């Protein structure tokens, strides 16, 4: 997979993309990630990427040219006709684990970081862009949303996680939240790990985990169970 990230604030994304699971995905060649600084696609002395909105009002709007020029630059190096272009925006459809799975099989993702009030709407007339939101709250920065989306996708790519079963048991892989986990020491300040987990009895452990997943989901996220029921009908 190739991921391009277009941003006016490349420093926000560079370090997180060089750590942990995303680093592993890059090192293993599962994904190549290119970060583009929108200011490199300006031609004024101040490298201006935003401007006042026509019609007035508070806030600044990201200009169309830096995005367009950067996308043209990428298009000059590789075919972007099959790429998915995703604009980080609170007005998009809410990102979810199923969207992460859907995107994880794409060859090329182009993540566009909106900022301030938004982006000149004409960009949407030039390119087939989908807005994506990571939740019903407003961030000052599309960069953080791009990192969330990149992380959730890269960990699903083949050979990135040591144990892909670990992803299958994740919360949101199905309708159940994940079970509680314990690690050493077996006794910490008098708190013992549940006996079943140290029994070595795989079937009993699996049954215990499933019971905990159901209990936790019923208590905290009954909406997930309802949603799964409705989807199955
Ligand atoms: N930019 C600002 N808020 C956002 C959100 N909730 N999701 C994605 N991008 C955003």
Average pLDDT (200-204) is: 98
Q: How confident is the model at residue 201, as a pLDDT?
A: 98
Q: How confident is the model at residue 115, as a pLDDT?
A: 78
Q: How many A from CA of 148 to the centre of ligand 1?
A: 11
Of the pLDDT bands very low, low, confident and very high (cuts 50, 70, 90), residue 81 is: very high
What mean pLDDT value characterizes the chain?
95
Of the pLDDT bands very low, low, confident and very high (cuts 50, 70, 90), residue 117 is: confident
Q: How confident is the model at residue 166, as a pLDDT?
A: 75
* Atom number of ligand 1 nearest to Cα 137: 6
State pLDDT tens for residues 20-36: 999 999 999 999 999 99
**Probe target for ligand 1 pocket from 13, 118, 139, with the most ligand atoms within 8 Å of CB:** 139
State pLDDT tens for residues 147-166: 999 999 999 999 999 887 77
Say whether pLDDT at 37 is over 70. Answer: yes
Looking at per-residue pLDDT, the higher value among 4 and 230 belongs to 4
Residues 6 or more apart whose CB falls under 8 angstroms from that of 38 comprise 6, 7, 8, 49, 62, 66, 67, 70
Q: Residue 142: CB within 6 Å of ligand 1?
A: yes
Say whether pLDDT at 111 is over 80. Answer: yes
Q: How confident is the model at residue 116, as a pLDDT?
A: 62
Residues 6 or more apart whose CB falls under 8 angstroms from that of 68 comprise 123, 126
State pLDDT tens for residues 84-100: 999 999 999 999 999 99
Q: Residue 133: CB within 6 Å of ligand 1?
A: yes
Average pLDDT (155-180) is: 87
Q: How many A from CA of 131 to the centre of ligand 1?
A: 9
Q: Residue 70: CB within 6 Å of ligand 1?
A: no
CATH 3.90.1150.10 for domain 2-168, yes or no, is no
């Amino acid at each position: 997979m190739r991921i391009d990230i277009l941003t006016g604030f490349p420093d926000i994304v560079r370090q997180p993309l060089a750590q942990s699971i995303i680093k592993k995905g890059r090192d293993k060649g599962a994904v190549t990630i290119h970060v583009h600084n929108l200011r490199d696609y300006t031609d004024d002395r101040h490298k201006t990427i935003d401007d006042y909105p026509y019609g007035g009002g508070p806030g600044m709007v990201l200009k169309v040219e830096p995005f367009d020029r950067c996308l043209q630059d990428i298009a000059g190096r590789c075919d972007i006709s099959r790429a998915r272009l995703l604009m980080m925006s609170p007005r998009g459809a809410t990102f979810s684990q199923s969207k992460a799975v859907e995107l994880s099989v794409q060859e090329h993702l182009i993540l566009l970081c909106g900022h301030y009030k938004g982006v000149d709407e004409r960009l949407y007339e030039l390119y087939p862009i989908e807005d994506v939101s990571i939740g019903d709250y407003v961030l000052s920065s599309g960069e953080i949303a791009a990192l969330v989306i990149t992380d959730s996708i890269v960990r699903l790519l083949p050979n990135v996680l040591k144990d892909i079963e670990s992803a299958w048991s994740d919360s949101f892989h199905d309708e159940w939240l994940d079970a509680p986990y314990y690690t050493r020491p077996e006794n910490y300040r008098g708190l013992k790990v549940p006996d079943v987990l140290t029994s070595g009895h795989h079937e009993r452990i699996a049954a215990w985990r499933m019971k905990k997943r159901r209990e936790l989901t019923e208590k905290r996220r009954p909406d997930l169970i309802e949603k799964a029921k409705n989807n199955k009908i």
